[in-house]
């Protein structure tokens, strides 16, 4: 039994590796639906929202929250726009939307974040922490993934709030419909 | 001196050499002022307009415009042009804030929302309905920012008053707080505009040259890649005017000299005579240039262009002398015969220049100085040097003689017909009310301006809403009062006053009272209970209200603070704030509303401010002209002691004035300052012709003397036309106006002198 426990510990410790990359969907092609939950001490109860994310290469990305407030964050050919409801889209900086770092070029992520990977029960657990001074808002980001499919993202903010994204119906490696990236 | 004059050639070379050297040295010390501002008739209001415009935050504004076939191409091209600009040694500062700067401004607005919210014009946020609505908006805001982690300022603005203030400011700044690539994108997503400050003004030509080169590079690059890109700024207008005037003046100067030489040689047919006859002009220019270099630091390009043409007048005295000198045995006899007419002609010409300084227009004062000095020096040199250098009989030439037919009654009738016909144009006279019409036509730059205007509201129009006061606080209060009135009258109309972010003290006290009177803590707490937020979320904000009397605004973010500081200017011990209005239409609407109030404000718009003064000036100029005619008439009457002689002497210049007015109509222009200048000159020149013809009849000249008098006037007219007529070739509208009206005026003055005066004076002699 001791040997087995030792082997398990060894197995776990062997699999704690400092990965260079967080999971990238195959061919950077992705369709996934999400439910987000925001918990914070200033909120009576968590705020939840639903939507989906579509990705076709690093430069074509759509984050669409369908309820309770309709918003669209689009990255088309590198240009990021934000649109709320029926308003005109406005161009934004990627820095203004922390979440997008997850879907950024791995090289850019590694510039600003340290990534640690653990594998437990065939699931990959990533701990993403900002390098010194690179982000004053985020303490850490925890990512749970199976191969190239992310299941959960938890963002821990410095003011004690937490933002969780749970993903479902995820499809990777398949070219998404072009309609998502039309203007 | 006599010995020197004996060796004419030695004297000629020494004199020419010294004169040339003086002109060369003087030009080094004279700074040319090429702006059209020198054409403004200054009154106190316009003086303030010009001074404040020069101090305005937009005086060094440079616009970058890029237009492509589609949005994707546009983004690529923005980067491409951006790289060219980065490599250039001009320290541009963007006037459109970046995301980080806007974030800081949002934080400022939230933190200080309690005092910067305009309770006077916006809804009371403390009513039951408003609190419910605003708390919902606050939670919706949180939900619409999926990855947003609220900062401290978020909790200092539960009622979303800060973002509302920012919305007002963004609207007043034409969306500059929602930038794309540090600039603005047009609605059709095909055009991009970025507004920069270059740190130097339009007349800093050494630096403007860099801007011109950069624009050239940008245009070339865009052309090569099949898209449109250019820089646009007031600097480029100034530069184009400068280079055009410089080019035109050079060409005009050369052409004038060539034409005058040619005319001179055609009639006198002796190079030697031609060389000596130019001594008074060269000397006149040399002495005038030296005087200008000593007295003036800056001298107008327009006055200099005019100065080049005075050679056409200055040579008249030489022509009259040379034409007739060999008719008489010695200099004494020549002076006895024509000296009176020469001196009287000189006095009346100078008399017409003397009135120009009364206009108080810089250009006209300079023209008066330059013209008056050149003609005076040339006359004196002609009288004291030339006449002694080549006295009668010294150089014999075979002057080409033109046999002028003796004018008769028929000629007089023809002349009467011409005068009556041109007199009709008086009824069509229109006065120029736009000072910019005196500048050249900046075809390409105006096209670029129209391109920008069709896509954006940005323009080069420096139109400002201005408030004056002894302190910034006083000025801010005035601007805020105006803002409140405008908003109440027309909510869509707006302008950016810094008082929206830094309210004046008095307003802060009013707002504090409003908050204390209207804010109900229990009502807020009750509504907060029904919201998504915890009960203690906004306690710090509530504490702020509880200690409102001690609440102080935090410091403005640097970028907006700098922008606001640049809006405040000082002039003549008063402080002003200049608020850009971007469009004349907005300025008109604002003016219409504010003019019915007791708000102490004014609008700065050079075009409009100058037009009133311009029209007033042009009308008073006509009175000045009539006054000049009367003065010259009095001089003539005193000199001749005969009213008919005085009348016939002045008749050519009156007909020349009619022609001057007529030419404004036929060239499709309105009567402007330059037409007035030529009118004054035509008075002086026209009266010379009248004096010579009148003198010929008064002194009973024989046929040969009379013929030579006609000829001397004819040569004078030709040289004057050579001097002024070539000005009509200039692209600069003011120089063109001067040239075309002088041309028409001189032709009419000659026709009057030749066709009508002999008839009128002959009859007088018969009666006598």
**Listed ranges B356-365, B467-476, B611-620, B753-762; the one with the highest mean pLDDT:** B467-476
| A35 touches B at CB < 8 Å | no
Q: Which of B191, B215, B232 is the last residue of a domain?
A: B232
Per-chain mean pLDDT for chain A: 79
Q: Do B178 and A44 touch (CB under 8 A)?
A: no
Alpha carbon of B263 to those of B280, B285, B374, B709: distances in Å? 17, 20, 21, 17
**DSSP one-letter string for B653-719:** HHHHHHHHHHHHHHTT--B-HHHHHHHHHHHHHHHHHHHHHHHHHHTT--HHHHHHHHHHHHHHHHH
Please identify, among B168, B203, B232, the residue that sits at the C-terminal boundary of a domain: B232
Q: Does B149 touch chain A (CB under 8 A)?
A: yes
**Interchain contact B412–A (C-beta under 8 A):** no
Question: Can you tell me the distance from the alpha carbon of B410 to that of B726, in angstroms, rounded to the nearest whole number?
Answer: 33
- Indicate whether B218 and B361 sit together in one domain: no
Q: Does B604 map to a domain?
A: no
Rounded to 5 degrees, what angle do the CA atoms B220, B231, B91 make?
105
Mean pLDDT, rounded, for A78-100: 70
Give mean pLDDT, residues B165-180: 77
pLDDT band at B37 (very low <50, low <70, confident <90, very high): low
In a domain, B44, yes or no: no
Q: Model confidence at A22, in pLDDT bands (50, 70, 90)?
A: confident
Question: Number of structural domains, chain B?
Answer: 2
Give burial (CB, 10 Å; 0-12/13-18/19+) of B623.
Answer: exposed
Does the pLDDT of residue B246 top 70, yes or no?
Answer: yes
Q: Does residue B28 sit in the same domain as residue B70?
A: no
Per-residue pLDDT for B486 more than 90?
A: yes
* Residue B633 binned pLDDT confidence (cut-offs 50, 70, 90): very high
In a domain, residue B701? The reply is yes
Cα–Cα distance for residue pair B354/B632, rounded to 1 Å: 11
Tokens of B457: 């509201």
Among chain B residues, CA nearest to A66: B144
Domain, as residue range, for A106:
2-181
Q: What is the distance in angstroms between the Cα of A173 and the nearest Cα belonging to chain B?
A: 26
Same domain, B280 and B261: yes
The first and second tokens of residue B317, run together, are: 């005295």
- Pair A29, B142: CB distance under 8 Å: no
Instruction: Identify whether B343 is part of a domain.
Output: yes
Closest residue in A to B158 (Cα–Cα) = A42
Give the model's pLDDT for residue B738.
84
Contact A44 B534 (CB under 8 A): yes
B694 belongs to a structural domain: yes
Q: Are residues B212 and B353 in the same domain?
A: no
Q: Flag if A77 and B72 touch (Cβ within 8 Å).
A: yes
Report pLDDT for B215: 94
CB contact under 8 A, A47 and B75: no
Which of B75, B143, B180 lies nearest to residue A49, judging by beta carbons?
Answer: B143
One domain for residues B304 and B268: yes
Domain hosting residue B697, numbered range = 2-33+238-400+408-438+609-767
Asked whether the beta carbons of residue B149 and residue A36 sit closer than 8 angstroms, the reply is no
Which residues of chain B does A67 touch, with a Cβ-Cβ cutoff of 8 Å? none
Residue B116 CA to residue B455 CA, distance in Å, equals 33
Q: How many CA atoms lie within 13 A of B537 on its CB side?
A: 26
Number of domains, chain A? 1
Which tokens go with A27?
């061919």
Q: Which of residues 3-62 of B touch A (CB under 8 A)?
A: none
Going by their DSSP bridges, the two strands A71-76 and A79-84 should be labelled as antiparallel
Q: What are the φ/ψ torsions at residue B576 (nearest 5 degrees)?
A: -135, 155
Pairing verdict, β B31-33 and A123-130: unpaired
CB contact under 8 A, A45 and B532: yes
What's the token pair of residue B249?
């003046």
**Both B318 and B389 in a single domain?**
yes
Q: Is pLDDT above 80 for B47? A: no
Report, as an integer, the average pLDDT of B209-221: 93
Mutate to test the interface with B, among A51, A96, A101, A139 (most CBs of B within 10 A): A96
**Does the CB of B137 have a partner CB in chain A at under 8 Å?**
no
Q: pLDDT digits over B225-244, tens only?
A: 899 999 998 889 888 888 88
Position B43 in a domain? no
Sign of the dihedral defined by the CA atoms of residues B19, B21, B27, B30, in that order: negative
Q: Report pLDDT for A8.
A: 39
Is the separation of the CB atoms in B470 and B575 below 8 Å? yes
Residues B243 and B224 occupy one common structural domain: no
| Torsion angle, alpha carbons of B729, B733, B737, B739, to 10 | -30
Helix, strand, or coil (residue A17): strand
B537 contacts in chain A (CB < 8 Å): 42
pLDDT at B42: 61
Please check whether residues B202 and B262 belong to one and the same domain.
no
Q: Is the same domain home to B299 and B220?
A: no
Reported as a single tens digit per residue, the pLDDT across B544-564 is: 999 998 899 999 999 889 889
- B215 and B360 in a single domain? The answer is no
Whole-structure pTM value: 0.69
> What is the C-alpha separation between B631 and B684, in angstroms, rounded?
11
How far CA A177 is from CA of A32, A172, B551, in Å, comes to 13, 13, 55
User: With an 8 Å Cβ cutoff, is A139 touching chain B?
Assistant: no
Q: How far apart are CA B703 and CA B707, in angstroms?
A: 6
Residues B323 and B396 in one domain: yes
pLDDT given at position A97 = 53
Within 8 A of A69 by CB-CB distance, chain B residues are 140, 143-144
Q: Which of B68, B66, B96, B62 is nearest to B82 (CA)?
A: B66
| Distance (Å) from the alpha carbon of B190 to chain A's nearest alpha carbon | 14
CATH number at residue A68: 2.50.20.10
Q: Tell me: the pLDDT tens digits for B718-732?
A: 988 887 777 887 888
β-sheet bridge partners, residue B602: B466
Q: Within this chain, do residues B247 and B208 fall inside the same structural domain, yes or no?
A: no
Task: Quote the minimal CA–CA distance from B356 to chain A in Å.
Answer: 59
Residue B18 has pLDDT above 80, yes or no: yes
Q: DSSP readout, A44-97?
A: SS-EEEEEEEEEESTTEEEEEEEESS-EEEEEETTEEEEEETTSPPEE--GGG-
Which of A14-28, A38-52, B194-208 shows the lowest mean pLDDT across its residues? A14-28
Tell if the CB–CB gap between A99 and B146 is shorter than 8 Å. yes
Under the banding of pLDDT at 50, 70 and 90, the label for residue B281 is confident
Nearest to A84 among B99, B144, B534 (CB): B144
């Amino acid at each position: 039994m001791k040997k087995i426990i030792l082997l398990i510990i060894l197995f776990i410790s062997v699999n704690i590796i400092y990965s260079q990359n967080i999971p990238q969907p195959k061919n950077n092609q992705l369709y996934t639906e999400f439910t987000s939950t925001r918990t914070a001490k200033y909120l009576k109860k968590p705020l939840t929202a639903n939507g989906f994310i579509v990705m076709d290469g690093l430069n074509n990305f759509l984050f669409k929250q369908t309820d309770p407030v309709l918003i669209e964050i689009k990255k088309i050919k590198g240009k990021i726009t934000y649109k709320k409801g029926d308003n005109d889209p406005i161009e934004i900086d990627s820095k203004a939307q922390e979440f997008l770092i997850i879907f950024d070029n791995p090289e850019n992520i590694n510039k600003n974040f340290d990534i640690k990977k653990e594998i437990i029960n065939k699931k990959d657990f990533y701990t993403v922490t900002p390098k010194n001074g690179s982000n004053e808002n985020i303490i850490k980001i925890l990512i749970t993934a199976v191969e190239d499919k992310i299941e959960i993202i938890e963002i821990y903010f410095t003011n004690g709030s937490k933002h969780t994204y749970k993903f479902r119906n995820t499809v990777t490696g398949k070219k998404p419909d072009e309609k998502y990236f039309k203007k | 001196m006599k010995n020197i004059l004996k060796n004419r050639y030695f004297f000629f070379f020494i004199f020419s050499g010294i004169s040339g050297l003086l002109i060369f040295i003087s030009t080094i010390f004279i700074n040319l002022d090429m702006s059209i501002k020198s054409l403004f008739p200054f009154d106190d209001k316009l003086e303030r307009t010009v001074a404040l415009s020069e101090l305005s935050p937009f005086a060094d504004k440079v616009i970058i415009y890029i237009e492509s076939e589609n949005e994707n191409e546009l983004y690529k091209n923005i980067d491409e042009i951006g790289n060219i600009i980065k490599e250039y040694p001009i320290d541009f500062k963007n006037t459109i804030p970046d995301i980080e700067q806007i974030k800081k401004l949002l934080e400022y607005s939230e933190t200080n929302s309690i005092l910067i919210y305009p309770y006077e014009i916006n809804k009371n946020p403390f009513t039951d309905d408003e609190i419910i609505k605003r708390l919902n908006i606050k939670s919706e805001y949180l939900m619409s920012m999926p990855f947003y982690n609220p900062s401290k300022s978020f909790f200092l603005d539960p009622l979303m008053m800060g973002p509302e203030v920012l919305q007002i400011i963004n609207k007043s700044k034409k969306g500059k707080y929602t930038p794309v690539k540090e600039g603005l994108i047009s609605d059709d997503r095909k055009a991009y505009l970025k507004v920069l400050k270059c740190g130097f003004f339009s007349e800093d030509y050494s630096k403007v040259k860099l801007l011109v080169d950069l624009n050239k590079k940008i245009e070339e690059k865009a052309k090569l890649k099949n898209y449109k890109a250019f820089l646009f700024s007031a600097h480029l207008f100034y530069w184009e005017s400068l280079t055009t005037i410089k080019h035109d003046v050079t060409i005009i100067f050369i052409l004038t000299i060539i034409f005058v030489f040619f005319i001179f040689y055609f009639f006198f047919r002796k190079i030697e005579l031609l060389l000596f006859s130019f001594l008074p002009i060269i000397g006149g220019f040399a002495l005038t240039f030296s005087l200008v270099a000593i007295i003036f630091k800056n001298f107008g390009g327009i006055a200099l262009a005019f100065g080049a043409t005075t050679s056409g007048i200055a040579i008249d005295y030489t022509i009259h002398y040379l034409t007739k000198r060999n008719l008489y045995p010695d200099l004494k006899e020549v002076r006895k015969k024509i000296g009176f007419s020469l001196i009287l002609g000189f006095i009346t010409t100078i008399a017409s220049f003397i009135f120009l300084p009364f206009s108080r227009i810089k250009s006209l004062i300079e023209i008066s100085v330059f013209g008056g000095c050149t003609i005076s020096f040339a006359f004196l040199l002609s009288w004291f040097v030339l006449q002694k250098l080549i006295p009668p009989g010294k150089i014999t030439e075979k002057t080409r003689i033109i046999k002028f037919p003796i004018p008769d009654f028929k000629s007089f009738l023809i002349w009467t017909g011409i005068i009556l016909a041109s007199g009709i144009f008086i009824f069509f006279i229109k006065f120029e009310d736009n000072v910019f019409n005196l500048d050249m036509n900046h075809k390409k730059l105006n096209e670029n301006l129209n391109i920008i205007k069709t896509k954006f509201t940005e323009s080069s129009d420096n139109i400002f809403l201005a408030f004056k006061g002894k302190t910034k606080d006083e000025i801010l209060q005035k601007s805020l009062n105006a803002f409140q009135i405008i908003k109440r009258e027309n909510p869509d109309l707006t302008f950016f006053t810094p008082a929206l972010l830094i309210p004046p003290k008095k307003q802060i006290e009013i707002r504090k009272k409003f908050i204390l009177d209207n804010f109900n803590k229990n009502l807020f707490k009750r509504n907060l209970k029904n919201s998504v937020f915890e009960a203690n979320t906004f306690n710090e904000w509530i504490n702020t209200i509880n200690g409102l009397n001690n609440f102080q605004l935090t410091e403005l973010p640097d970028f907006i603070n700098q922008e606001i500081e640049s809006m405040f200017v000082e002039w003549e011990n008063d402080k002003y704030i200049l608020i850009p209005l971007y469009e004349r239409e907005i300025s008109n609407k604002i003016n219409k509303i504010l003019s019915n109030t007791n708000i102490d404000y004014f609008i700065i718009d050079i075009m409009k401010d100058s037009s009133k003064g311009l029209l007033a000036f042009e009308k008073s100029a006509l009175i000045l002209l009539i006054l000049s005619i009367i003065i010259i008439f009095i001089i003539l009457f005193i000199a001749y002691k005969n009213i008919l002689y005085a009348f016939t002497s002045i008749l050519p210049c009156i007909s020349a004035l009619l022609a001057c007015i007529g030419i404004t109509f036929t060239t499709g222009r309105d009567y402007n300052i330059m037409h007035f200048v030529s009118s004054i000159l035509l008075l002086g020149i026209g009266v010379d012709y009248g004096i010579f013809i009148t003198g010929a009849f008064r002194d009973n000249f024989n046929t040969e003397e009379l013929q030579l008098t006609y000829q001397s006037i004819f040569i004078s007219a030709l040289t004057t036309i050579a001097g002024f007529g070539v000005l009509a070739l200039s692209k600069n509208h003011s120089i063109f106006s001067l040239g075309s009206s002088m041309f028409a005026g001189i032709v009419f003055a000659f026709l009057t002198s030749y066709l009508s005066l002999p008839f009128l004076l002959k009859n007088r002699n018969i009666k006598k």
